[in-house]
Structure 1
Amino acid sequence: MILYVSVGLLGLLSLTIPVGIVLFLLGIGIDQFFTPFPLVRGMGQMIWSASNSSTLIAIPFFVLLGEVLVRGGVAAKTYGALDKWMSWLPGGLIHANIGTATMFSATSGSSVATAATVATVAMPQAEKLGYDPRLFSGAIAAGGTLGIMIPPSINLIVYGFLTESSIPQLFLAGLIPGLLLAVAFSVVTALICMLRPNLGGERRFFPLREMLAGLVHLIPILILFAAIVGSIYRGWATPTEAAAVGVGMAFLIAAFSGGVNWPMLHEALLGTMRITAMIMLVVLGAAFLNFTLSAAGLGRELRAFMDGLGLSPLMMLMVIVLIYIVLGFFIETLSLMVVTIPIMVPIVVGLGYDAIWFGILMIVLVEMALITPPVGLNLYVVQGARKSGRLSEVMVGCIPYALIMLLMAFALIAFPGLALWLPANL
């Protein structure tokens, strides 16, 4: 059955069948070939039970929040402000790319949306100021991955939903690793540009008056992040309620920026419906597949196989990390999560590891999948914004940042407190 699921998943995806449909087809195949019970008759009830969750309502709210900020013109002003504060570093404007991606990660909850936002605003500057296209575009693609780590994160909401873990605890756990990744991205950029100054473009310095004036455009985003995350942590609102409040605040911010009009509203709502429909199809397909996998006993079969290897818990964890790295080359990130969570999480918890901690480790590995070919979505998002050059340039530019993510994964294994300290103390 393990072979059937692996070959079936990769085979159907190679036919470019939508991921959500692939998950349903795999579930139906398991029902037909591996169980004596007519599980497919429970499909309707499974879909209803999975979709009838107040937790999942947070997803369209967070998507709409990001759409409003992007289409309301807030991103360009945030980028301009960070340009004035960070362009003096070795690497110049590349640090503004990473800083803007970090700030929008703290509001949008989506890596692809974050990468698209920063790429749209930043790419016109690359050629004009003489930046190396590989490092410049690679930093945008890597910075965009922070959207699924720094709270609020749609992927963490899905992980919490599928594992019945505390979403506020997951948000807390992802904050320190996410910020450390952002700092590490800037550090490695500065080191590269100190060794190879021609890659970083011109370092620019601005008068203090202009720098202070730019802070006006950063304050609304910081307030928005504090309101959303703070209300969840303090117990004043659920993630869904906080997301709804965030949407209202995002509209106010966009309105004060002069970016709210009927075409903008139409595009934001249409984009929200498209992204939400895609996410929900994957989540519902995963719910049905998980139901059939559980009934067919795949979890027991895989656990028996892993136990038969005779490895220590740490070595078993390293095998799981390797599996995620390999699968990340071929499977889209959200799909990778929802397919593997019901299989891997019980094994990891059975080894004595914490489910919240493993959720953050998984997110780091899934972030790598966003910038590794051939399926890394952020690569194509950034290349689409470039409108010239080769995709291979973006891939090469992502290499140092992918290595940083790998180091972060090992750091989480060596020092679990990086993820667990905040949840344990707040």
Structure 2
Amino acid sequence: MNEGGIGLSGLLILLVLLALRVPVAFAMFLVGFFGIAILNGLPSAMSLLASEAFTLGTSPELVVIPLFILMGNVASASGMSRRLYDAAYAAIGHVRGGLASATVIGCGGFAALSGSSVASALTMGKVALAEMQRFNYDPRLSTGVVAAGGTLGILIPPSTGFVIYAILTEQSIGRLFIAGILPGLLLLALFVTAISLICWWRPEMGPAGERRPLGAKLRALAGAVPILGVILVSIGGIYAGLFSPVEAAAVGAGLVIALGALSGNLTLAQLWSASKDSVATTATVMLILIGAHMISPFLALAHVSTIVGSFIEGLGLGVTGTLVMILALYLVLGCFLEGFAMLVLTLPIFFPIVTALGIDPIWFGVLVVLTLEMGLISPPVGINVFIVKSVAPDVPLGQIFRGVLPFWAMMLVALAILIAFPQISLVLPNSMFD
């Protein structure tokens, strides 16, 4: 069997392992390690394993992952996420569908702290679902809002999706973070628009909530000021050139811990629990990255990206057509694979094709991360849907999937807008560095 045949066979074996529920990191490690051993010999595979694990384990850029995860976990443990939600609810909760819109805005705010879609969906689900149930919101709307709103965590910076993309493609984490701001706000606005349209068409799905007096509104908004200040300092500091992404993560985590301690809302036990959760999540991400750095050289040795690139070039689709086809493949894969798994499996194949076509890698990163978001609420995998199901066990899974459909459609609209107008993604990072 030639090198290309070995590479394609390796990909097939990888898909079989994933179908058998073998963890993504170990599946990639097995295929990559033994593939390199077959193509280049066992000593080469052993040497690569040692060097890649050490290089990743000592990479200073990756410090951003545990620090931003810690920031989100501490914010959740100390009740800061609830204060974000309370502020949004105080401002717009009295209008029809306002409670759902407040949930989406709260998800967007928490996304700017945690960088995790799963954490956003889980936290805001615990905070908002009971309130929407109390005001007789339709379960399809309430659960759909939480599942879709949680996906903002992978697009609005800081985003672990952008960090993984940056490491795998050797792009700037800071540029990617800044590039996600306007697309994230665009998607948030489209989600709120979807809620407004749903409640205009079927008013019973999102009844109006309580109208709070001005004093209560001001107190709720004041409660969110400290955490909004953390977001402004950490993300704004990157844009202003005051911090690198790693420094911004350290400043943000330190500020959140200090605010929680000074307010008395963060105990040592809560800090210890948040730290343990952060370590566990970081270890999972690191294992996936090590597995990715084992399979990428195997795919390169087997010339898989060259084979796929030649096939795509032979289709004669042009730059835009090729980009749309790659994103369509991501949408299909999102129905079956977890987001990070898609990144580490496909970028070694697609990224050389994208760069050869002259497509801006930062713009492509935003588009890919947005398609990963769509996978988070696409059946049958839809991780965020299952997260919401765990918080709302009485709501049938089918209803939750039906509830996310309008928001999935809005994601598709956002994707089309970002393809048509690349500057939405590029204007801020270009102004930051030019």
- Structure 2-normalised TM-score? 0.95
Retained in 2: the 8 A contact 1:373–1:395?
yes
Q: What is the match of residue 15 of structure 1?
A: 20
Does residue 27 in structure 1 map to residue 32 in structure 2? yes
The structural deviation recorded for 1:88 is 2.7
Question: Where does residue 4 of structure 1 map in the other structure?
Answer: 9
Deviations 1:327-348 (A, max 9, x none): 1111111111122112211111
| SS of 1:131 mapped into structure 2 | coil
Q: Distance in 1 between matches of 2:400 and 2:148?
A: 10
Residues 89-143 of structure 1: CA deviation (Å, up to 9, x unaligned): 3312101110110101111111111111100111222322111111111111111
1:373 — aligned with what? Answer: 379
Query: 2:351 maps to which residue?
Result: 345
Distance 1:128 1:328 in 2: 34
1:14 aligned partner, one-letter code: A
Hey, what does 2:130 align to over in structure 1? 124
Q: Distance in 1 between matches of 2:359 and 2:225?
A: 39
The CA deviation string for residues 335-372 of structure 1, in whole angstroms up to 9 with x for no partner, is 11122112211111211210000000001100001111
CA distance in 1: counterparts of 2:132 and 2:220, whole angstroms: 21
C-alpha contact (below 8 Å) 1:89/1:95 kept by paired residues: no
CA distance in 1, matches of 2:155, 2:94: 27
Q: Which residue of 1 aligns with 2:276?
A: 270
* Contact 1:47–1:288 (8 Å) recurs in 2: no
Tell me, yes or no, if structure 1 residue 396 matches structure 2 residue 402: yes
Report 1:206-225 matches (<5 A): 206-225=212-231
Structure 1, 180-189 or 150-159: larger mean CA deviation = 150-159
SS of residue in 2 equivalent to 1:338: helix
Deviates further, 121-130 or 35-44: 35-44
1:1-400 correspondence runs (5 A):
1=5, 3-35=8-40, 38-42=43-47, 43-400=49-406
Matching residue's letter, 1:40: A
Cα offset, 1:311, TM superposition = 2.1
Shift of 1:12: 0.9
Separation in structure 1 between the aligned mates of residue 189 and residue 281 of structure 2, nearest angstrom:
29
CA–CA distance in structure 2, aligned partners of residues 73 and 231 of structure 1: 24
Q: In the alignment, is the contact (CA less than 8 A) between 2:338 and 2:383 conserved in 1?
A: yes
Cα distance, 1:34 vs. partner?
4.8
Say if 2:178 and 2:429, in contact at 8 Å, map to a contact too: yes
CA distance in structure 2 between the aligned counterparts of 1:31 and 1:425, rounded to whole angstroms: 42
Of stretches 317-326 and 47-56 in structure 1, the one that deviates more from structure 2 is 47-56
Matched residue type, 1:288:
M
**AA matched with 1:171:** F
Q: After superposition, give the CA deviation of every residue in 1:53-92 in whole Å (9 maximum; x if it has no partner).
A: 1110110001110110001121222222221112133312
8 Å CA contact 2:80, 2:224 repeated in 1: no
- CA distance in structure 2 between the aligned counterparts of 1:154 and 1:289, rounded to whole angstroms: 20
1:414 equivalent among 387, 402, 420: 420
Q: For structure 1, which runs of at least 5 residues remain unmatched after alignment?
A: none
The AA in structure 2 aligned to 1:185 is F
What is the percent sequence identity of the aligned residues? 38
Deviation, 1:32, is 4.6
Query: How far, CA to CA, are the matches of 1:166 and 1:67 in structure 2?
Result: 25
Q: Which runs of 5+ in 2 are unaligned?
A: none
In the TM superposition, what is the alpha-carbon distance from 1:174 to its structure 2 partner? Answer: 0.7
Contact 1:103 1:221 in 2 (8 A): no
Residue 347 to residue 89, structure 1, CA distance change in 2 (3 Å):
farther
Q: Deviations over 1:359-398 (max 9, x none)?
A: 0000110000111122221111111111322111111111
Distance in 2 separating the partners of 1:129 and 1:203: 7
Equivalents in 1 of 2:430, 2:271: separation in Å?
41
* 76-85 vs 264-273, which moves further: 76-85
Tell whether the 8 Å contact from 1:79 to 1:97 is kept in structure 2 after alignment. yes
1:51 Cα offset (Å): 2.6
Task: Give the AA of the match of 1:11.
Answer: V
Q: Distance in 2 between matches of 1:411 and 1:385?
A: 33
RMSD, aligned CA: 1.6
1:89 is paired with a residue whose SS is: coil
Q: Would the aligned equivalents of 2:237 and 2:243 in 1 still touch at CA under 8 Å?
A: yes
Contact 2:34 2:45 in 1 (8 A): no
Counterpart-to-counterpart distance in 1, 2:209 and 2:135: 10
Q: Is the 8 A contact 1:75 1:118 kept in 2?
A: yes
Query: 1:33 deviation in Å?
Result: 4.7
- Letter in structure 1 aligned against 2:247: E
Contact 1:74 1:257 (8 Å CA) reproduced: no
TM-score normalised by length of structure 1: 0.96
Q: Which amino acid aligns with 2:98?
A: G
Matched letter for residue 36 of structure 2: D
How far 1:35 sits from its partner (Å)? 5.0
Residues matched between the structures, number: 426
Structure 2 residue identity aligned to 1:342:
P
Contact 1:150-1:178 at 8 Å conserved across structures: yes
